[in-house]
Amino acid sequence: MKSSLITALSAPLAVLTQPALADEAEFVKSLTGTWSGKGTVIIRIDSSPWNVSCNIKTKAAGTSLAMTGSRRG
């Protein structure tokens, strides 16, 4: 009786600890697309900031994400 109770209580935990690869693939897929924006870059704390503009394209394949882009500034 005691061992069946432990088994019944531990079964849901086994499901919760499985890797969520499908969720990772869906999340990575949601990052696919293009992005552009402006901002500043600081190379070192004592250096002046650079104003930059960026364009990035992303493409998902499973749980991998490929990014290409350019920066001007």
Q: Considering the domain boundaries, does residue 58 fall inside one? A: yes
- pLDDT value for 17: 57
Q: Considering the domain boundaries, does residue 8 fall inside one? A: no
Q: Considering the domain boundaries, does residue 7 fall inside one? A: no
Distance (Å, rounded) from C-alpha 17 to C-alpha 29? 23
- pLDDT value for 23: 85
Residue 46 has pLDDT above 60, yes or no: yes
- pLDDT value for 5: 43
pTM for this model (two decimals): 0.53
Q: What is the pLDDT of residues 18-42, one digit of tens each?
A: 565 568 889 999 999 999 999 998 9
Domain holding 38, by residue range, is 20-72
User: Among residues 35, 67, 41, which one has the least CA distance to residue 54?
Assistant: 35
Q: Considering the domain boundaries, does residue 27 fall inside one? A: yes
The structural domain count of the chain equals 1
Q: Using 50, 70 and 90 to split pLDDT, how confident is the model at 73?
A: confident
